[in-house]
């Protein structure tokens, strides 16, 4: 919200610099996002030379006007320029002297050549040396006025536009001041002001008005608050009998107040009113609409003005639609609250008025509505109609019903004051559901328990009274009644917390001492699942893989690139983009998209991600969110170096090496690998992993036809799609170590020829099984195929390590084991010892 400094000063004395006020507001919960200075000095401003202490806390903009350089002046005559049609010469007095000033402002052309003006034009005049913004430059560019000759006429000063003064973007013409502006006065004294852009917290809607902010400032400074009063005499005939109110549902409309002003003449509002409205971000319309907006900005009560004569005359059926002020015909929902008369809908209650009964220049009688609406319904209307307004913003957060009456009274006063007319005596006030302002009980212990400070209750009461809480001491309890302008204080334990927050705010958060937690430590449970997951991350990174984190939102067609859909998705009702409309089911599909973006950037790419996928469950249950591990590798085995070792590509066995090392790092043993059938993968280069009967997933080379669906180059794409939950469940809780052998090991190579169809793992398993505990390591070091051994055969060469913990093995002992192994391989696999 835009808060206007000069307006605040109507209600509270403020003797602070712009920066001090910004600090104060932020400290009490009215966060200042930006300060726009209108002529007033602010820190680090190059014009005034003011410097802050090196700590800049707020964003300032605008321009400080030097008091001796920028002043109120009057133009007594506008004369044509001898050499230029688009320029005029102004005869101008600045309180010191008379000058002829050159300008191209189009809004002076109508006065050109009329001779001395009967009423001088008051303008903002910048003397030589003044620092102003360049009106013709794009954006805000500071410039200093220097002496120059323009088309043969000497110029050293100028009359300014709002843009040049840093007030607004307006540069269509020069700024014209009210006729009573005192010539010669420094402009900053006459017009200097500031606008604070303050963010209003959802529970502080009471402060979405000047009085609300002023109240907070007054409370923080301990100064009195001057509330606005209505002062005009009530001269008109009574309202009674002219209008009646019927409220259908008091829950939706707790209060509805009407007032009437007769014989009005809508006209432009006084200059100061228009200026304030503009600074607060609203467009002046006419003196009646402006009065309603002014009161809303003043005390926070939105008002609506009807043309009473239209209401009386209009006829019509009960149309299910209404045309609102923005000229949109709106369908109405069952929960939309309407203000209607006997002829049908008049306005969307609390949101926007109807076009038909709009106040116009022809309006002579104004019926003024001040009401209170159920904020939930207003919110539903706003979202259904996709329509918001200043009124709806406030009503949708809750406006206290007590403000309805005050708002109408102030409104009528402003209307009559700015548009003439007479105020009808009395109001018609329907108040079927009076607000009950909560009373909350506070003790010293309550304050201590929540804030950790000891605060005397009398002092607490003093602080609360500044915010207009009504406080009463009852022995050792403080009874605090909520003032009738706010709805954010609850009852019971909630009310206590609400009141203590107000006390904390007034004490100042910075005044509450910081302490360390001294309450007892909870049972230390740790998080085993997370620790295991982080261990897995560490191992994969140690193996040279880069971790990535991808979007969990995707689209079915993005995952379909990898495999046909095989289940339902958790889908979003309101996706922000069609390609992010469901929760992913495949982590690998997401990883492949990352691979695609990076594949040309590196000779070797090795990536992994650990994260959840989302599987819908029946019966409206929340989805399962199992954790998956996806790995992608492609490119060169070794990174290219300058000595030209010939590059080789990563293949299936590189990925398998990663998988094996990962399992070894996790101390998971007994993995069984089998050729797996998976449409995503190369039919001959895909393995499944099973550990202790638990399926961990598959890995291998992507099927070339599948790989082509991404731009992944022609190197084989090696991928793993693993169930991280199952994998990490295999982690042993405890493991034991073996002693380092005290006796030497004996190494021996053995090469056997077997049928091609026999998996290498069977040979190795048999060797281990037969060798028993004396064979401690079996390592395949060569696979050979060739004519020498016959077609359909392969030679597998193993390096065996014999080792005993009891003593040094003799040749005889190892030979016995070896012979047993060879016999077993011959019998069970038809293997032949190579070289025999």
Which 121-180 residues touch another protein, going by CB under 8 A?
A: none
- State which of positions 199-218 bind another protein (CB under 8 A): 201-205
Of 450-469, binders to another protein (CB under 8 A) are: 450-453
Cα–Cα distance for residue pair 150/156, rounded to 1 Å: 10
639 lies in the binding site for another protein (CB under 8 A): yes
Question: Exposed, middle or buried: residue 593 (CB in 10 Å: 0-12, 13-18, 19+)?
Answer: middle
334 binds another protein (CB under 8 A): no
**How crowded is residue 324: how many other Cβ atoms within 10 Å of its Cβ?**
21
CB 238 within 8 A of CB 424: yes
Nearer to another protein, 414 or 584 (CB): 584
Position among 274, 396, 554, 803 found at the interface with another protein (CB under 8 A): 396
Residue 356: CB minimum distance to another protein, A: 30
Q: Which stretch binds another protein (CB under 8 A): 224-232, 260-268, 325-333, 522-530?
A: 522-530
For 393, residues 6+ apart whose C-beta sits below 8 A from its C-beta are 208
Q: How far is it, in rounded angstroms, from Cα 635 to Cα 715? A: 6
Among the candidate windows 276-284, 303-311, 492-500, 755-763, which touches another protein by CB under 8 A?
Answer: 492-500
Span near another protein by CB under 8 A; candidates 110-118, 425-433, 464-472, 570-578: 570-578
CA separation, residue 157 to residues 67, 132, 145, 587 (Å): 15, 11, 6, 69
Site string for another protein, 528-567 (x = CB under 8 A): -xx---x--xx-xxxxxxxxxxxxxx--------------
Looking at the Cβ atoms of 342 and 646, the one nearer to another protein is 646
Per CB under 8 A, the list member of 118, 139, 229, 642 interacting with another protein is 642
The residue among 285 and 661 lying less far from another protein, judged by its C-beta, is 661
| Rounded distance between C-alpha atoms, residue 700 and residue 281, angstroms | 63
Is 380 a binder of another protein (CB under 8 A)? yes
What is the nearest approach in angstroms of another protein to the Cβ of residue 754? 36
Shortest distance (Å) from residue 610 CB to another protein: 9
Give the CA angle between residues 659, 663, 668 to the nearest 5°: 150
Interface with another protein (CB under 8 A), residue from 51, 147, 472, 597: 597
Q: Is residue 175 classed as helix, strand or coil in its secondary structure?
A: coil
- Please give the C-alpha separations between residue 417 and each of 199, 420, 658, in angstroms, as whole numbers: 32, 6, 84
Structure tokens given for 785: 């195929």
CB nearer to another protein: give 346 or 613.
613
Is position 226 an interface residue for another protein (rule: CB under 8 A)? no
3-state secondary structure (DSSP) of residue 341: strand
> Judged by CB under 8 A, does residue 6 bind another protein?
no
Q: CA 362 to CA 493: how far, in whole Å?
A: 55
Q: Which segment (80-88, 154-162, 282-290, 610-618) binds another protein by CB under 8 A?
A: 610-618
Instruction: Lay out the sheet containing 477-481: strands in order across.
Output: 439-442, 477-481, 470-474
Per CB under 8 A, does 386 bind another protein?
Answer: no
Give alpha helix (H) positions in 733-810.
Answer: 760-771
- Among 342, 519, 646, 791, the residue binding another protein under the rule CB under 8 A is 519
Q: Does 791 bind another protein (CB under 8 A)?
A: no
Candidate segments 97-105, 162-170, 318-326, 527-535, binder of another protein by CB under 8 A: 527-535
User: Nearer to another protein by C-beta: 444 or 745?
Assistant: 444
Residue 476 tokens read as 């050792």
Answer yes or no: are the C-beta atoms of 476 and 485 closer than 8 Å.
no
For another protein, the closer CB: 572 or 679:
572
- Among the listed residues 509, 653, 743, 781, the single contact to another protein using CB under 8 A: 509
User: Residue 511, interface with another protein (CB under 8 A)?
Assistant: no
Burial class (CB in 10 A: 0-12, 13-18, 19+), 717: buried
- Long-range (24+ apart) CB contacts under 8 A made by 472-481 are 476/443, 476/444, 477/441, 477/442, 477/443, 478/441, 478/442, 478/443, 479/439, 479/440, 479/441, 480/439, 480/440, 480/441, 480/442, 481/437, 481/438, 481/439, 481/440
Near another protein by CB under 8 A: residue from 512, 672, 675, 805: 512
CA 75/CA 77 separation, integer angstroms: 6
Complex with another protein: residue 242 or 636, whichever CB lies closer: 636
Q: For residue 626, state whether it binds another protein (rule: CB under 8 A).
A: no
Verify binding: residue 221, another protein, rule CB under 8 A.
Answer: no
Region near another protein per CB under 8 A, out of 49-57, 178-186, 282-290, 703-711: 49-57
Q: Count the Cβ atoms, other than its own, within 10 Å of residue 662.
A: 22
CA–chain centroid gap for 91, Å, is 54
For another protein, give the closer residue by CB, 341 or 593: 593
Asked whether position 635 contacts another protein by CB under 8 A, the answer is no
Binding to another protein by residue 327, rule CB under 8 A?
no
Q: Does 574 bind another protein (CB under 8 A)?
A: yes
Counting residues that bind another protein (by CB under 8 A) gives: 107
Q: How far is Cα 553 from Cα 571, in angstroms, rounded to an integer?
A: 9
606 binds another protein (CB under 8 A): yes
Question: How far from 276 is each of 41, 65, 249, 284, CA to CA, in Å?
Answer: 20, 19, 37, 9
Does residue 578 belong to the site contacting another protein (CB under 8 A)? no
Q: What is the DSSP letter of 165?
A: T
Asked if residue 449 binds another protein (CB under 8 A), the reply is yes
Residue 638 tokens, joined: 């070794």
Closer residue to another protein, CB minimum distance, 199 or 819: 199
Binding mask 359-378 for another protein (x = CB under 8 A): ----------------xx--
In whole angstroms, the minimum distance from the beta carbon of 703 to another protein comes to 24
| Length of the chain, in residues | 836
SS3 479: strand
51 lies in the binding site for another protein (CB under 8 A): no
Select the span of 1-9, 266-274, 302-310, 617-625 touching another protein (CB under 8 A): 617-625
């Amino acid at each position: 919200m835009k808060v206007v400094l000069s307006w605040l000063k109507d209600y509270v004395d403020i003797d602070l610099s712009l920066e001090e006020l910004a600090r104060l507001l932020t400290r009490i919960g009215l966060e200042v996002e930006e300060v726009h200075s209108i002529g007033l000095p602010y820190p680090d401003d190059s014009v005034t030379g003011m410097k802050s202490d090196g700590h800049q806390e707020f964003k300032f903009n605008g321009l400080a006007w030097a008091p001796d350089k920028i002043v109120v002046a009057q133009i007594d005559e506008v004369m044509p320029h001898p050499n230029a049609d688009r320029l005029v010469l102004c005869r101008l007095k600045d309180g010191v002297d008379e000058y002829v000033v050159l300008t191209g402002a189009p809004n002076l052309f109508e006065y050109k050549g009329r001779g001395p003006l009967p009423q001088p034009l008051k303008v903002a005049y910048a003397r030589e040396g003044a620092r102003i913004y360049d009106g013709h430059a794009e954006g805000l560019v500071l410039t200093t006025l220097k002496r120059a000759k323009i088309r043969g006429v000497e110029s050293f000063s100028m009359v300014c536009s709002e843009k040049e003064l840093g007030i607004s973007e307006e540069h269509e013409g020069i700024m014209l001041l009210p006729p009573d502006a005192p010539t010669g006065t420094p402009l900053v004294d006459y017009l200097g002001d500031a606008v604070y852009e303050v963010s209003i917290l959802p529970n502080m809607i009471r402060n979405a008005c000047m009085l609300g902010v002023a109240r907070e400032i007054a409370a923080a400074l301990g100064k009195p608050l001057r509330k606005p009063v209505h002062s005009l005499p009530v001269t008109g005939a009574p309202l009674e009998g002219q209008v009646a109110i019927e409220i259908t549902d008091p829950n939706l409309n707790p209060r509805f107040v009407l007032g009437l002003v007769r014989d009005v003449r809508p006209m432009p509002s006084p200059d100061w009113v228009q200026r304030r409205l503009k600074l607060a971000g609203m467009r002046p319309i006419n003196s009646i609409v402006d009065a309603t907006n002014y009161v809303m900005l003043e005390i926070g009560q939105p008002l609506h003005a009807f043309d009473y004569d239209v209401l009386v005359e209009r006829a019509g059926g009960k149309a299910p639609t209404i045309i609102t002020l923005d000229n949109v015909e709106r369908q109405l929902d069952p929960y939309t609250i309407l203000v209607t008369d006997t002829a049908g809908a008049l306005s969307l209650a609390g949101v926007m008025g109807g076009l038909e009964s709009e106040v116009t220049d022809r309006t002579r009688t104004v019926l003024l509505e001040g009401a209170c609406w159920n904020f939930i319904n207003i919110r539903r209307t706003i979202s259904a109609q996709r329509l918001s307004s200043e009124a709806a913003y406030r009503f949708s957060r809750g406006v206290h019903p007590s403000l309805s009456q005050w708002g109408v009274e102030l409104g009528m006063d402003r209307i009559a004051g700015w548009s003439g007319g007479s105020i009808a005596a009395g109001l018609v006030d329907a108040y079927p559901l009076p607000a009950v302002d909560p009373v909350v009980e506070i003790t010293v212990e309550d304050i201590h328990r929540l804030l950790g400070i000891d605060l005397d209750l009398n002092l607490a009461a003093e602080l609360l009274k500044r915010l207009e809480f009504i406080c009463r001491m009852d022995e050792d309890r403080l009874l605090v009644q909520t003032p009738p302008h706010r709805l954010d204080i609850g009852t019971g334990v909630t009310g206590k917390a609400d009141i203590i927050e107000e006390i904390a705010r007034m004490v100042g958060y910075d005044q509450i001492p910081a302490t360390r937690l001294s309450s007892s430590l909870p049972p230390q449970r740790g998080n085993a699942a997370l620790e295991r997951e982080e261990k897995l991350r560490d191992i994969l990174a140690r193996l040279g893989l880069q971790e990535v984190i991808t979007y969990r939102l995707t689209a079915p067609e993005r995952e379909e690139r990898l495999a046909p859909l095989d289940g339902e998705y958790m889908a979003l009702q309101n996706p922000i983009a069609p390609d992010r409309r469901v929760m992913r089911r495949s982590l690998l599909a997401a990883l492949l998209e990352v691979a695609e973006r990076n594949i040309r950037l590196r000779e070797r790419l090795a990536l992994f991600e650990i994260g959840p996928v989302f599987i819908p469950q029946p019966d409206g249950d929340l989805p399962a969110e199992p954790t998956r591990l996806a790995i992608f590798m492609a490119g060169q085995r070794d990174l290219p170096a300058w000595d030209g070792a010939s590059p080789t590509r990563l293949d299936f066995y590189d990925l398998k090496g990663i998988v094996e090392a990962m399992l070894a790092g996790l101390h998971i043993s007994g993995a069984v690998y089998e050729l797996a059938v998976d449409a995503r993968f190369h039919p001959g280069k895909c393995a499944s992993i099973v550990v202790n009967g638990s399926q961990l997933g598959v890995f291998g080379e992507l099927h070339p036809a599948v790989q082509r669906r991404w731009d992944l180059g022609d190197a084989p794409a090696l991928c793993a799609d693993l169930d991280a939950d199952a994998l990490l469940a295999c982690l042993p809780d405890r493991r034991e170590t073996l002693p380092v052998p005290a006796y030497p090991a004996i190494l021996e190579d053995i090469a056997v020829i077997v049928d091609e169809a026999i998996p290498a793992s069977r040979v190795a398993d048999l060797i281990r099984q037969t060798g028993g505990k004396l064979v401690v390591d079996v390592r395949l070091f060569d696979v050979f195929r060739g004519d020498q051994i016959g077609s359909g055969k392969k030679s597998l060469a193993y390096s065996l390590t014999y080792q005993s913990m009891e003593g040094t093995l003799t040749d005889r002992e190892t030979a016995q084991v070896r012979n047993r192994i060879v016999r077993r391989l011959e019998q069970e696999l038809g293997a032949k010892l190579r070289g025999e």
